[in-house]
Amino acid sequence: MVLRSEILVNKNVLPTAEQALPGRETPMALPEKHFVFTETPLLGPFFENAVDFAIFGLGCFWGAERRFWQREGVISTVVGYAGGFTPNPTYEEVCSGLTGHTEVVLVVFDKDKLSYRELLAMFWELHNPTQGMRQGNDIGTQYRSVIYCTSPQQLKEAEASREQYQAELSKSGFGEITTEIDQAPTVYFAEAYHQQYLAKNPDGYCGIGGTGVCLPPSLQGN
């Protein structure tokens, strides 16, 4: 009999559905309020007229979430796991490489103040999207680059921005973008201590670091 722990030695290889851990039915308990936006419900309801949602994975979600909550026009941020098989996984299970999930940030934003195109530009420039199953020194499927789209329009804009950023990367000698772009799967929210982690632990680890390649300003606006 082959144990699950023996199935996947290489954390750079995604598990199959049969190999994935079983998970659980109960979601993680979350705080009601955002730790930084102290009067804002973490998961809503949101009363802005033009609220929208974006989902990005760009390596360790601690540093990524901080950069997004710092952006004007962002209403709330929540970190979690998406793109795998295991329902309601724990952080330890995701780290095992046996859930198939990557670490993501759900970004809630006001479209009257911040466009999805601006968020896409921010996403590309904050990390290296050519590294496959890693981000810097963080290695494994949980650190892969993803854009999960919440509407057909987002999917169209994300795919267009990938082509635009690839052109800029190629000029600077970088390889092909490996970012996964797809319709949004279920996002399983991470444990409470991960939410706004770097606001609670200002000296904590942040693996965010881009390539230094930027999109032209004409491709970043509304």
Q: What is the pLDDT along the chain (222 residues), one digit of tens a residue?
A: 344 544 545 899 999 999 999 999 999 999 999 999 999 999 999 988 899 999 999 999 999 999 999 999 999 999 999 999 999 999 999 999 999 999 999 999 999 999 999 999 999 999 999 999 999 999 999 999 999 999 999 999 999 999 999 999 999 999 999 999 999 999 999 999 999 999 999 999 999 999 999 998 876 765
Domains of the chain: 28-200 (3.30.1060.10)
* Tokens 């466009």, located at residue: 115
* Catalytic-role residue among 60, 95, 206, 214: 60
Confirm whether 60 is a catalytic residue: yes
The residue among 145, 137, 67, 48 whose CA lies nearest residue 107 is: 67
CA distances from 125 to 62, 165, 171, 195, 212 (A): 17, 9, 15, 23, 7
